[in-house]
Structure 1
């Protein structure tokens, strides 16, 4: 997919009904109150000396910014939203709603909008579970307040 297709996916999810149950979907995963689209996934870094990983991380950041620029035409200016405190709250045993609890374990920060069309939250993030594992460009659409 390219940036135009990713933008179409995000905007389509903004108006699509949420799944009744948590699970895998055609675009990634979802559950009551949210869609999580896996827009792009890199290869892994098991055999890498760190160079490829750094280049890939930079590329995924660039792609997130390019997609955000495309989405600004429809959603306006994004806010930067860190998930560190959400992760800390989850690790301390606080019951944090999905998709924020899961995201905070592997996405450090998001670009976040409030959709003028639906009032839903729309977010873009770059995920990596561990240094050797792939990066993913993720889009989240949810009616669950992140704050």
Structure 2
């Protein structure tokens, strides 16, 4: 993992213009009010998958430490409670799709940008690769 590169990309997402329509390329997504990028992607079967998840959680925590120095420490954001709410209410993107892909996110309001930043490990879909995701959105978490 190149932490400096990941931080630089997250910084760029805080100022990158949003797209009018949803677009997707190589796992990255953009749409009205949000960007989701794949910072790391891991392949693997059962045993290797668990190791990849563990490693990406360490990467997420390392990014959390660096970003918390900048934007302050925050409690983990439970995406599973958001997932449970999708049956009763309309959850906006990117939060709805993140809650289907990850359990928890590190989350900050990026001062001076008008955006929220999240970092999470997307590992809920066993048929998909494990991914470390970076998110920037003007849509407040539900």
Show CA shifts across 1:88-143 (max 9, x none): 121x1521110011111111110000111213110000002433532100011111
TM-score, normalised with respect to structure 1 = 0.87
Q: Which runs of structure 2 are paired with 1:66-145 in the superposition (5 Å)?
A: 66-90=62-86, 92-145=87-140
TM-score, normalised with respect to structure 2 = 0.90
Over aligned residue pairs, what C-alpha RMSD do you find?
1.8
Aligned residue pair count = 142
Structure 1 stretch 1-10 or stretch 74-83: which is displaced more?
Answer: 74-83
Instruction: Give the equivalent residue in structure 1 for 2:53.
Output: 57
Cα distance in structure 2, aligned partners of 1:30 and 1:75: 24
Q: Which runs of structure 2 are paired with 1:2-41 in the superposition (5 Å)?
A: 2-24=2-24, 28-41=28-41
Cα distance in structure 2, aligned partners of 1:8 and 1:101: 26
Uncovered stretches (5+) of structure 1, i.e. residues with no partner: none
Uncovered stretches (5+) of structure 2, i.e. residues with no partner: none
Structure with the greater alpha carbon radius of gyration = 1
Query: C-alpha displacement at 1:26, in angstroms?
Result: 7.8
